[in-house]
Amino acid sequence: MSYQTRPVTYAQRGIVAAPHYLAAEAGLDILKAGGSAVDAAIAANSMLQVVFPFVCGLGGDVFAIVWSAAEQKMFALNASGKSAASASIEKYTALGYHETPTFGIHSVTVPGCPDGWDMLHKKFGALPLNRVLEPAIYYAEQGFPVGPELSSALEKTAASGHAHSSWFRNFLPDGAVPHVGALMKLPNLAKTFRALTESGLKDFYTGEIARQTADFFQRENGCITLNDLAEHQSEWVEPLSADYGDLSIYELPPNTHGVTALQMMSMLNLLPSGSDPMDPKTIHLAVEAKKLAFADRDRYITDPAKMTIRAEELLNPEYILQRSKLIHPEHAADSTAPGSLSGDTIYLCAADSQGNMVSLIQSNYMGFGSGVVVDNLGIALQNRGAYFRMDPRHINALEPRKRTMHTLIPSLAVKNGAPAIVFGSMGGDGQPQFHTQVYTNIIRFGANMQEAIDIPRWLHGASRGSSKEHLFVESRFPESTIRQLQRMGHEVIVTESWDSLMGFAQGIIRLPNGVYAGGSDPRAEGAAAGW
C-alpha cells in the first residue's frame, strides 16, 4: 500500500524544498538567476520569515550542513546565540522566576540567524545579498496572501495572553486578525532586510540595527545589551555521524541534540524492524530507542563548553549495544526523560547544478518565539532561553554567556563518499524522532522521499506543561496497529490524520545519475520546486 499523496519532484539543474510554496519559488528564482544552493536556501529562509513568521525570523537561530561540490567536503554551521552576560539563576530568581520564563523579554537569547546567513553567504554565495533577499523584500513591501497556517497562528497568539504590545503593533496594526486570502504587509521587516543588504549582515550586531535593538531591550528591562550582540560569533563545527543501513547519517554536534537522532538510528541498526512502517514492532522499537536516547540527552547535552563528556562517547558501538539491550521487544518501558511537544521551526533544503547541497533549519522556537518584536525593525525575538533550567545542578542550567541545549537539527546522508540525502523537519523534541522515521522509511522500506514524508508519523513526548508522556499517532495508522501498541503498554493518543504536531518535513535525494528527487510535507503549505 502506498501512502504517497503527490508526485516526487525530479530536477536536473536545481531544486528547493520548503514548507511554503512562495519560499520554494523564491529559492528556485535565485537558482535560475545563477545563484548557488546556499543563495537559494537564504532566499527561501528570508521568504519564510515573511510568509511564515510564526516559525522563523531574524530574531532566531540557524543551523546548516553544506556539501561543497568544489571541495568534495561537508561543512556544518552552528549559528545559535548565547544567553546575556547578565543572565543568571540568581538574577532570574530576584526577578521572581522559579523556572525560566517561557515567553517575554527574559526568554530571549542573542539571535544567531543574521550572522549565520553572513557566514554561509560569504563562503558559498554566488549572487550579491541584495539579489538574494530581493524576493522576500518584495513580498514584505507589496504584500502577500495570508495562508491558513499563518492566519491560525496569528489568531492563537493574539488570544494567548503572552504576546507583548510590540507583537500586536507589528503583526496586527489594525487590531484584526487577517482572514485566509487577505493581503498582509510587513513594512518594518522589509526595511530591516533592505538596511542589511546595504550595510551588511554584521550591522545586526555592531551597527545601527544593533543599537536600536539594544535600546529596545533597555526600555523593556531586558538583559541583552549592545555588548552581548557584538560578542556573538557563529561557528563552523565538525558534524557527528553514524551508519544506518548503507548510509552514513550526519547531524550537528552539541549544543544541538543531533546525537540523539544518531543514537536512535544506531540502536535500531542493531534491531530487526517489523515488516513495514505500520507494523507495531517497527514503531515500538523506535519509541523505546527514543526513550533511552532522550534520557542521555537530558543528562548530558548542553553548550559543549559546559559538557562533562564528549558527545562521541554516546555513539561508541559498545555503549550503543549496551543501551539497545535495554529495549524489550514486546513491552514499553517507563520513560526517564520526558520531552516537550512544543516547538515551531522551518526546515528547508536546496541543491544546485554544480552538485552543492544545503540542509538548513531556522526557528523562533515556540510559534512567534518570545512574543516580543523589536519596534520599528519587525524583528520577532526567539524564546530559546526557555530551554534553560533554573536548577544549578542540571547540565543545562542557566548561566551567563551560555548556549542552551538546542532542538534544531539539519541532516545530510552520505553513500559511498558522495552526498545522497538532505533532510529535516520542524518539530522541537520531535525532530530526532522524525529523522529516524523518515530515514527508516527510505533505508528499510524502500520509500522515495515523498512517500517517506507522507507515511503516517508518530511522536512520543509530553504536552507543554505536563510531565506525562504519551505516544501520539496520526489517525491514518491502522486500528490494529494502535490496539497492539496499547497492548504493549504504550499510552496512545490519536491525532488528526495530517497533524502539524508531526512536523513539516522536506527532503532531497540525489540519485546516482545526479538527478535530484525532492519531497515536501503536505502537512504544511510547501512544495519541492525544481528545474
What mean pLDDT comes out for the span 260-286?
96
Residue 337 pLDDT exceeds 80: no
**pLDDT number for residue 367:** 86
Quick one: which H or E segment has residue 209? helix 208-219
**pLDDT number for residue 257:** 94
Residue 108 pLDDT exceeds 90: yes
**pLDDT number for residue 338:** 53
**pLDDT number for residue 344:** 66
Residue 341 pLDDT exceeds 70: no
User: Where are the strands (E) in 356-438, listed by range?
Assistant: 357-365, 373-374, 379-380, 411-415, 418-425
Percentage with pLDDT > 70 across the chain: 98
Count of helices and strands (H, E) across the chain: 18, 21
**pLDDT number for residue 34:** 98
**pLDDT number for residue 148:** 95
Q: Which amino acid is at 61?
A: D
Percentage with pLDDT > 90 across the chain: 94
**pLDDT number for residue 2:** 80
Q: What residue segments make up the domains of the chain, in order of their start?
A: 17-236+343-387, 238-297+321-339+420-530
pLDDT by residue (tens digit) across 167-214? 999 999 999 999 999 999 999 999 999 999 999 999 999 999 999 999
Q: Which amino acid is at 114?
A: P
pTM for the model? 0.95
**pLDDT number for residue 17:** 98
Residue 493 pLDDT exceeds 60: yes
**pLDDT number for residue 336:** 65
Cα–Cα distance for residue pair 446/439, rounded to 1 Å: 10
Q: What is the longest distance spanned by two Cα atoms in the chain?
A: 62
**pLDDT number for residue 343:** 54
Model confidence band, residue 45 (pLDDT cutoffs 50, 70, 90): very high
Output the nine-digit C-alpha cell for 330. Answer: 514486546
Q: Does domain 238-297+321-339+420-530 have CATH number 3.60.20?
A: yes
Q: At what angle do helices 187-199 and 134-142 cross, to 10 degrees?
A: 150
Quick one: which H or E segment has residue 79? strand 73-79
Tell me the three state secondary structure of residue 448.
Answer: coil
Cα–Cα distance for residue pair 184/35, rounded to 1 Å: 28
> Do residues 253 and 245 touch, judged by C-beta distance below 8 A?
no
Q: Distance between alpha carbon 420 and the CA centroid of its chain, in Å? A: 20
**pLDDT number for residue 293:** 96
**pLDDT number for residue 342:** 53
Q: Distance between alpha carbon 303 and the CA centroid of its chain, in Å? A: 18
Model confidence band, residue 265 (pLDDT cutoffs 50, 70, 90): very high
Residue 18 pLDDT exceeds 60: yes
Cβ atoms within 10 Å, residue 4: 17
pLDDT by residue (tens digit) across 362-396? 999 998 999 999 999 999 999 999 999 999 999 99
Residue 103 pLDDT exceeds 90: yes
> Active-site residue 345, yes or no?
yes
Cβ atoms within 10 Å, residue 275: 9
> Do residues 436 and 261 touch, judged by C-beta distance below 8 A?
yes
Active-site residue, selected from the candidate residues 100, 192, 197, 345: 345
What mean pLDDT comes out for the span 313-326?
95
